Amino acid sequence: MELTWVGHATTLIDVDGYRVLTDPLLTKRVAHLRRRRPEPVAETFDVDLVLLSHVHVDHLHLASLKRLRPSARVLTPMGSAKLLRKAGFADVTEIQVGDRIEAGPVTVEVVPAAHKRGRGPHSRVSADPVGFIVNGAGRRVYF
C-alpha cells in the first residue's frame, strides 16, 4: 500500500496497482480555498475507486470528479448518489456506517464520522458523513 497526499483531503491510495482516491479536490481553487501545492499530474486522474466522506462542496467537488475516469466506481454517503449520477457517473454506490465493500484487492469498511450533513446553504443535498478504513496488501489506513 502506497499513499500519496494530493492536497486538502485528497489522498491517492495505491494497493498493488488498484488506485483509490479520497475526496477529490483537483482544481486550483474552490471558493475561498486555494491550492498551495502544484496541481495534480494527469496520472492522478486514472483511478479505480473514489471515496467521498461527506457532501460539502470541497469534498464532493463535481468539477474535480469530472476530471476522473468516468468508469471509476464512487462510494458516497446515502442521499448523494443522484447528484453524482446527474454529473455523469454510472457506477455510484450509496454507503452508510456498517457497510463493508469489496473492490479489487481492497476491502472498505464504512465507519462513523462527526461533521455537518449539508452540502451548503444553497443546496437541499444532505447526507450523514462517514469515515473509511481501507484494507489491502496486509495494511489498513483510515480516512
pLDDT at residue number 37: 74
Task: Choose among 71, 88, 68: nearest CA to 23.
Answer: 68
Within 10 A of 85 (CB to CB), how many other CB atoms are there?
13
Assign 96 to helix, strand or coil: coil
Residue 140: beta bridge partners?
A: 135
Q: Is the pTM of this model over 0.75?
A: yes
Q: Which residues of the chain have a pLDDT value below 70?
A: 28-30, 32, 35, 41, 117-123, 125-126
Q: What is the pLDDT of residues 133-142, one digit of tens each?
A: 999 999 999 9
Q: What is the pLDDT of residues 11-36, one digit of tens each?
A: 999 999 999 999 898 776 667 677 67
Q: Residue type for 96, please?
A: Q
Within 10 A of 70 (CB to CB), how many other CB atoms are there?
11
